Amino acid sequence: MALYKNTRMRMLRQAEGLLATEVWKKLGIGKEIYTAVENGRLIPSKRIQKLLAEFYKLPFETLIEEFDKELVVSAITSNTPNINK
């Protein structure tokens, strides 16, 4: 189950024409961590967020806003009662 849908990470990687393997190796983080972040199963630490921002040449604040926005959307949708049940 995903905590949030992190489509931005995948879009950034694909825009650079990179495979996930290339990114996690270049960042020096584990495959499991990177794929969990990209698939929304893990919220990356600030250290990893900084590595990602530097790697994709984005302001750190921009990347943080993306993670925060995804978490808020996830929290709202997961706490919304399903009236169709």
pLDDT digits (tens, 9 = 90+) for 2-19: 455 567 788 889 999 999
pLDDT digits (tens, 9 = 90+) for 46-60: 899 899 989 988 887
Look at residue 70 in the predicted model and tell me its pLDDT.
56
Which domains, from first to last, does the chain contain? 7-79 (1.10.260.40)
Look at residue 27 in the predicted model and tell me its pLDDT.
95
pLDDT digits (tens, 9 = 90+) for 68-85: 665 544 444 444 444 444
Judged by phi (left if over 0) then psi (alpha if -120 to 50, else beta), residue 51 lies in alpha
Measure the CA dihedral 17/20/24/40, to 10°: 120
pLDDT digits (tens, 9 = 90+) for 15-36: 999 999 999 999 999 999 999 8
